[in-house]
Amino acid sequence: MEPRLIAALLLLPAVAIFIYAGIHEYRRYKSKGRANYGLVYDEETGTTHVTEIAEGEESYDLDEFDPGDYSVGETKEQGGDDRG
């Protein structure tokens, strides 16, 4: 197989995903207007993810995060983990 064809086949899925994401975001922009994205902390799982932030809310500040406050063991005890 020709190297150009192999490179094109490898890049094609990434290009398709990029175009799909662009179209999706453009349609969202046309229907809802400008969005404010930021990092949001999920207290139940102790993880963060990027999402759209509501107008009255503030984004999550990494400088204020203390990993010692989250303990997996405490969450399992509180949730009634009966694996054993």
Same domain? For 46 and 10 the reply is no
Same domain? For 19 and 40 the reply is no
The percent of residues above 90 in pLDDT, for the chain, comes to: 31
Give dist(CA 12, CA 5) in Å, integer: 10
Same domain? For 20 and 3 the reply is yes
Q: Which residue has the higher pLDDT, 2 or 66?
A: 2
pLDDT for residue 59: 63
Same domain? For 26 and 42 the reply is no
Q: Which residue has the higher pLDDT, 3 or 56?
A: 3
Kindly state the average pLDDT of the residues 38-52.
79
Residue span of the structural domain in which 63 resides:
36-84
Same domain? For 27 and 49 the reply is no
Place of tokens 């694996």: 83
Indicate the DSSP class of residue 15.
H
Tally of structural domains, the chain: 2
The percent of residues above 70 in pLDDT, for the chain, comes to: 65
The band of 1, judged by pLDDT with boundaries at 50, 70 and 90, is confident
